[in-house]
Amino acid sequence: MQSIPDEIIAKLKHLPEPERNELLRAGVYEAAHARVSKLQAEIVQCEERIRHFETQYGVSFDQFEAEVLPTLDSLQAHEDYNDWFYWEQVLAEKKALLAELNRIELT
């Protein structure tokens, strides 16, 4: 099975090289710009989910984990912790990917 870049280049191989390169550059630019926009929206969603827990418990995730969680003995609190942890991890991943896209200046 061909990799996606090889497959794309194979489909464009009959174009003159300057035209092929321009199409690839423009395509990568547009795709990166769209991905950055999507990541920004996903980050907002993650932050909203996290804010819900911060409001509910009145503390940051780190404070909840260190100070509040050990004192709670309910299933709901532990489910909230798992959900909160998940959104914190997703947020970190999305921010790292966004930073990498911005670092390589594709947009």
pLDDT tens digits for range 29-68: 899 999 999 999 999 999 999 999 999 999 999 999 999 9
Alpha helices in the chain (DSSP H): 4-12, 17-57, 61-63, 75-103
CA distance 99 to 48: 20
The Cα 104–Cα 100 span in angstroms is: 6
Spatial neighbors of 37 by CB under 8 A, at least 6 apart, are none
This prediction has a pTM of 0.82
Q: Say how far apart CA 41 and CA 36 lie, in whole Å.
A: 9
**What proportion of the chain, given as a percentage, has pLDDT over 90?**
69
